[in-house]
Amino acid sequence: MNLEHHDRARDIEPLTEAQPRRRSFSSIAPALTVIVSLAGLYLLWSVAASLWPSRAFPHPDQVWVVLVQDTLNGELPYNLAITLARVFAAFVVAMVIGSVIGILLGIYNRADQFFNPWVVLFLNIPALVIIVLAYIWFGLNEVAAIGAVAVNKIPNVVVTMREGARALDPRYAEMAKVYRFSAFDRLRHILLPQLQPYFAASARTGIALIWKIVLVVELLGRSNGVGFQIHLYFQLFDVAAILAYTLAFVAIMLFIELLLVQPFERYATRWRRRAA
Amino acid sequence: MQPVGAAAPLRVDIAEKTFRSSEGVSVTALKNLAFEVRQGEFACLVGPSGCGKTTTLRILLGLDTDFSGSFQMPASDDGRIAAVFQEPTLLPWRTVEQNVRLALPKAMRHTDLTRLFDSLGLSQMRELYPSELSLGLARRVALARAFAVEPTVLFLDEPFVSLDDQTAERLRYLVLSVWSARPTTALMVTHNVREALMLSDRIILLSARPAHVLGYFDIRIPRESRNPQVMSDLARSFRQKFPGVMQAEMGYP
pLDDT tens per residue across span A164-190: 999 999 999 999 988 888 889 888 899
Q: Domain containing B170: what range?
A: 10-80+152-250
Band the pLDDT of A82: cuts 50, 70, 90.
Answer: very high
Task: For residue range B134-168, list pLDDT tens digits in order.
Answer: 888 898 899 899 888 888 888 999 888 888 888 88
Q: Domain containing A113: what range?
A: 60-273
Phi/psi-derived region of residue A181, left when phi > 0, alpha when psi is between -120 and 50, beta in every other case: beta
- CATH number (domain holding residue A148): 1.10.3720.10
Whether residues B161 and B241 share a domain: the answer is yes
Whether residues A146 and A251 share a domain: the answer is yes
Average confidence (pLDDT) over A205-225: 89
Whether residues A7 and A76 share a domain: the answer is no
- At B76 the pLDDT is 59
Share of chain A above pLDDT 70, in %: 89
Q: How far apart are CA B113 and CA B141, in angstroms?
A: 12
Q: Tell me whether residue B232 is in a domain.
A: yes
CB pairs under 8 A between A and B: 61
Whether residues A77 and A175 share a domain: the answer is yes
Question: Chain B interface residues facing chain A, Cβ-Cβ under 8 Å?
Answer: 61-63, 80-83, 85, 87, 89, 91-94, 102-103, 105-106, 124, 127, 129, 131-133, 145, 149
- CATH number (domain holding residue B168): 3.40.50.300
Q: What is the DSSP letter of A19?
A: S
Q: Hey, CA dihedral for B202, B206, B212, B216, is it positive or negative?
A: negative
> What is the secondary structure of chain B as a DSSP string?
-PPTTTTSPEEEEEEEEEEE-TTS-EEEEEEEEEEEE-TT-EEEEE--TTSSHHHHHHHHTTS---SEEEEEPPP-SS--EEEE-SS----TTS-HHHHHHHTS-GGGTT---HHHHHHTT-GGGTT--GGGS-HHHHHHHHHHHHHHT--SEEEEESTTTTS-HHHHHHHHHHHHHHHHHS--EEEEEES-HHHHHHH-SEEEEE-SSSB-EEEEEE--S-GGG--HHHHHHHHHHHHHHSTTHHHHHH---
- Give CB contacts under 8 A, 24+ apart, made by B160-164: B160/B190, B160/B192, B160/B195, B161/B86, B161/B190, B162/B135, B163/B135, B163/B136, B163/B139
Task: For residue range B163-184, list pLDDT tens digits in order.
Answer: 888 888 888 888 888 888 888 8
Strands B10-20 and B81-84: unpaired
Whether residues B56 and B99 share a domain: the answer is no
Average confidence (pLDDT) over A116-132: 93
What is the C-alpha radius of gyration for chain B, rounded to an integer number of angstroms?
18
**Minimal C-alpha gap between A173 and chain B (Å):** 10
pLDDT at B251 over 50: no
Q: Tell me whether residue B85 is in a domain.
A: no
Whether residues A18 and A128 share a domain: the answer is no
Average confidence (pLDDT) over A236-251: 90
Band the pLDDT of A23: cuts 50, 70, 90.
Answer: low
| Structure ipTM | 0.83
Count of domains forming chain B: 2
**Minimal C-alpha gap between A185 and chain B (Å):** 8
Cβ-based contacts of B124 with chain A (< 8 Å): 1
**Position B244, amino acid:** G
Whether residues B110 and B97 share a domain: the answer is yes
**Position A56, amino acid:** A
